[in-house]
Structure 1
Amino acid sequence: MNPTDRKRLIILRHGKAAYPPVPDHERPLANRGNTEAPAAGRWLVEQGVYPDAIITSDAVRTRQTTTWVMNEFGDTAPTPYLDSRLYHASATDALAVINETEEQVRTLLVVGHMPWVQDLGMRLASVDSNEKAVIDMAERYPTLGMMVFEIPGEWASLDGRDADMTHFVVPR
């Protein structure tokens, strides 16, 4: 496959959340989350990575994280799609959402929650992945943890051990 045919998948865990007396779905980012979340967008911009599409859980903390990241992209930021299926998703559920991505999307950013973000990273990482990135992700996946994968085929065929993890970072 031609390297230019490869796609890029970015999976981002939301920023640090607050614990006010509200339902979990309505929990906002904590002050630290609001302060740190833009760093994820800045890291992507520094790497020259601009998503063509963004899918985010519809929970308040993921929506807020997405907004901070998008602010760093400026006018190049696509309108995010809120998907309620990502809120209480399993890795399999989250992958099914990703599998629905239209093929013209070359770079996809997905913003979600533990434990599925880490579980999905473990499922997707191929043997050709950056070993340090995979180990770091497997050992600890803090808020704002972000994985970057190169995808060699179609979104619909992405399943397991078929994506090369190139980075695991926690921009702060």
Structure 2
Amino acid sequence: MSGPDAKTLVLLRHAKAGWPGGVDDHDRPLAERGHRQAPAAGEWLLEHGIVPDAAVVSDALRTRQTWVWVAERLGESAPTPYLDGRLYAADAARALAVVNETEETVRSLIVVAHMPWLQDLGMRLMSLDSDQEAALSMSEHLPTLGLQVFRVDKPWAELDGRDAALTHFAVPGR
């Protein structure tokens, strides 16, 4: 049921983060592997013709750093991110409320954030017409840089559950 008004929602888990001693979880940076890994998400988006109009990024350091690498690959077409502190300690319902605030003029939205709610939100949104292989893979494990792509056929404000089709699940750079 993909119509001319279909939109795209991308949920991206941050790249691999480090655990430096004495650093608060919110301020954890990407590990070296994360810095090497993160650009692959931007490359994957470009290869699949997905260039977001808007980006909502958790204000945690590792998600901001992940977005910098993704945006670098997207080049001049990368949107300026909106840093949203609510996404750091959110659950799926609170994160969905952030997505619901998206202006209807946005045709493609990327959200860069954290586990466990990122996987929970994907599971909540997945409609029956989702790609079954992608759905099984994403439901089993959402590793760092796990990327979920949904087709949204209704207004952002009306997304609630089982109403977006998962079209792709990928872990770029693997």
TM-score norm. by structure 1 comes to 0.99
Q: Which residue of 2 aligns with 1:18?
A: 18
- 5+ residue gaps, structure 1, are none
Q: State the Cα distance separating 1:4 from its structure 2 match.
A: 1.7
Question: Structure 2: how far apart are the matches of 1:128 and 1:78?
Answer: 29
Q: What letter corresponds to residue 25 of structure 1 in structure 2?
A: H
SS of residue matched to 2:29: coil
Question: Structure 2: how far apart are the matches of 1:146 and 1:49?
Answer: 12
Question: Structure 1: how far apart are the matches of 2:86 and 2:75?
Answer: 27
Q: Is the 8 A contact 2:2 2:151 kept in 1?
A: no
Question: Structure 1: how far apart are the matches of 2:35 and 2:102?
Answer: 29
RMSD, matched Cα: 0.8
Q: Which residue of 1 aligns with 2:76?
A: 75
Q: What letter corresponds to residue 14 of structure 2 in structure 1?
A: H
Deviations 1:51-109 (CA, angstroms, capped at 9, x unpaired): 00000000000000000000011110110000000000000010000000000000000
SS of residue matched to 2:157: helix
SS of residue matched to 1:70: helix
Q: State the Cα distance separating 1:3 from its structure 2 match.
A: 1.7
Q: Which residue of 2 aligns with 1:6?
A: 6
Q: Which residue of 1 aligns with 2:106?
A: 105
Q: What letter corresponds to residue 31 of structure 2 in structure 1?
A: A
Question: Structure 2: how far apart are the matches of 1:62 and 1:71?
Answer: 14
Question: Structure 2: how far apart are the matches of 1:63 and 1:80?
Answer: 9
Deviations 1:136-166 (CA, angstroms, capped at 9, x unpaired): 0010110000000000000000000000000
Match runs of 1:8-87 below 5 Å: 8-21=8-21, 22-87=23-88
Question: Structure 1: how far apart are the matches of 2:29 and 2:56?
Answer: 18
SS of residue matched to 1:4: coil
Deviations 1:9-32 (CA, angstroms, capped at 9, x unpaired): 000000000000200000000000
Question: Structure 2: how far apart are the matches of 1:138 and 1:62?
Answer: 21
Identity of aligned residues (%): 60
Match runs of 1:84-163 below 5 Å: 84-163=85-164
Q: What letter corresponds to residue 124 of structure 1 in structure 2?
A: L
Question: Structure 2: how far apart are the matches of 1:14 and 1:4?
Answer: 31
Question: Structure 2: how far apart are the matches of 1:10 and 1:78?
Answer: 14
Question: Structure 1: how far apart are the matches of 2:126 and 2:146?
Answer: 15
What is the number of residues matched between the two proteins? 172
Q: What letter corresponds to residue 18 of structure 2 in structure 1?
A: A
Q: Runs of 4 or more off by more than 2 Å in structure 1?
A: none
- 5+ residue gaps, structure 2, are none
Q: State the Cα distance separating 1:2 from its structure 2 match.
A: 6.5
